[in-house]
Structure 1
Amino acid sequence: MPRKRTILAALGGAALAPVLMLVGPGIASAHGYVNSPPSRQAQCADGTVSCGDIQWEPQSVEGPKGLHSCSGGVDRFADLDDDSKGWKVTQVGSQVTFTWVFTARHRTLDYQYFIGGTEVANFSGNDSIPPETVSHQVDLSGYSGQQKVLAVWNIADTDNAFYACIDLNVS
């Protein structure tokens, strides 16, 4: 009888593993995104805007360096590229502090901020691993009204970067 219990226990555990994988996506332990002011993926994760898979993985918008899309070129995160989704626009002044949250930290080449394809700020990552959060104060005094900022975290030890778009009203 003990032998049968051991076999059944082993089979039960093996049978349970696929079920656990089907329960649903969880937050993967990887990467980073801008959470303040709330990026589009942060708004998806907190339910402010209804989105697809990105709601479960706001930190996973990773694509090749040099892109200028909110989704980082990832098809399953295409909701982030849709400007008509009703993104919450944050009121800011001309000086804005962007805060990145990292769930897995990579050696960092730099952080870039763009408006309409124009780089408005660049901060060196000094080829080092960042702390759990990093903040940058960006001067947007040359801009006013509603703006979409693309924030990019360029990784030093891969060909990839992480992308986040933030909708602002600059006054």
Structure 2
Amino acid sequence: MPKPVPFLWFDGQAEAAAELYTSVFPRSAITEISRTGPGEPAMTVSFTLDGEPFTALNGGPQFAFTEAISFQVPCADQEEVDRYWSLLSEGGEEGRCGWLKDRFGLSWQVVPTALPGLLGDPDPDRAQRAMTAMMGMAKLDIAAMRAAADAG
């Protein structure tokens, strides 16, 4: 059965983007680079991120990424949050609440797996304190959100 494959449009940076992404995520690799001729820049780059297929196209400047599409990186602990945040935001732009844009303009959400439990706490006051703490953060800090939740 066919499986959807994310297809990302770049302006001359498809190969560099694929190199970055495959260096950040484990079990990832560039699988094919198609060029219009020898020595020419990549037209498309096929790659996998943790075994999931992606394609990058050097399509030109007509289209740019927006926050309407992003990739979420669920992180088991603060060490993972710190690692992915650092690698993906380098040369890019930090946003709020765990969002960032990488140096190619693609949006990512670097989110601890503990977040839904904090924001969905059965005690609405605890959940609200965790949410308020999160709203003031760029990179999410699990300990600070837990401390805020417990501060009541």
Give TM-score scaled by structure 1 length: 0.23
Greater share of residues in strand: 1
Greater share of residues in helix: 2
Q: Higher relative CO (CA 8 A, sep ≥ 6), structure 1 or 2?
A: 1
Greater radius of gyration (CA):
1
